[in-house]
Structure 1
């Protein structure tokens, strides 16, 4: 009798404990993200305090939404925050959240802890579209690259889906990865050809290809925010299915999961999240790879926790990298993609060597 009564007690305790730890971690990460966003409004060529930034946020929002009706006595700092820092901060959060969630989804679908959104050819598709519009003279600035880059990502995603959806290996993650590698190689050859054949393309492409939010304004936010928000909803909706896929596709199918349909939805989700983020900020390394691993160490293997957590962690990483780039080379700035590579990759390697990265 004693044995039978005690067997029901232990499972509930750890479950409640794990859930409470996840909620606490998410609350702390959310607070850290909010504090980092406020700090982002103070960093740049002109330094100001958080108190100054907070007092100017309402005026900056008014100026951002309708500069023509703003009173003429608005000070320079309000204009600076409304025109540059506020859109840049919002965009850093959106891009980081998109890449973090996309990394969790693609790692779940491929069951590969080293996968990131770029494995589907998203970066190559965006780069090919950007060099095309630059070479054609259609776009000359970062704002003009956003829509073409998202179209390029969508076309590459469709092509990879078509290449990997037929035959006996349909819906196989290895087939998807191989198709992505092949398409990426072809598109990057085209990108290199365009860059080497035109000085104009070379000059403009090198700024986008390093990964940066410099000069991004509200039009980039309004173009990418709906795509990323829809992608985040799709990612969260897949979490229960991804938990089943982690048990193996045969087991998942036997439990009634439509594996092929879930994989197709996952491909669309990763393309939407990674494509919009890449279109807005250029190719960014490390975020989509590391954010899911960091969250696994805090929340365990449940994708209902990993995906929202990875989105928050990704937003924090991107925001910190953007702020660090503004500080490290003042009065100029270092591209966010370079900061992520210089700081993030060594930290990730250290985690791997200490075997704290789940799945490696």
Structure 2
């Protein structure tokens, strides 16, 4: 036991308890150092190109965020034959928990291939850093891209990053040409911000997104599968309650690890969570049919029980007459393979809704 316990402790510290699940959806994590010529090497394989506004390659090109009062990293992808005299659709890709903007470098080749083949429309794609800590850390807390106790991350994305992209690049002004997209924490951010900023954004994509963070069945079981006849919003702050189980319960993620730094521990915490809970935001933000195109994809065997969260969100959306395009992988878990299994459907959905370059 002297050997086993230190090994498990080191494993948890290296990956982060909350980051362990998300690490399965990351190609390049926040602790990996990149060589100076990484972007040049990557661009040599692309039809488009990636622009570097980071401090990841030994030169500080970061953008200053007024919302966060500090510099932040950003990558911007320009499609093949980018022409400043034309105007392009824009996607902002939001990374997951345990990741940072470097994760985009492992995904950009797939985006580039889909654009080059015509499966995806030509578009500008930007990926900002959504970590709470603006430095590499073993325990990377997620911002979930909202204004919270952890910082003004909604304003960071929808004002600082938004203005930089619209002022510096040829972006179509049509809100239907604007897409927020992401996986897991990033999927939550995409739907949450999409609902809040329907005046700016016409399309929101969530891959394996936690869309009902107060989910519980009628017996108070977070892991209970969704049944419209046996469902309730959790009215109690159960900070120590598990919200994910991996490896047969060997590794457990608890609610406090994802929520304490965002919402606090006080008597108003449940109200704060409800205010940023996408399922409840459908009513509180008075979302009407046709106001926001939404695409949601998830696995039925998700370790975070995301399937029940998504299905309760879809149920409430339908009750308001809101159509949400949803895809499910019957054997999908909370990992890379499940996320990538929806690539074709996501590309088709975008092509049908995003206007072409003008």
State the TM-score, normalizing by the size of structure 1. 0.27
Hey, which of these two has a bigger chunk of helix by percent? 1
Q: Which has the larger Rg?
A: 1
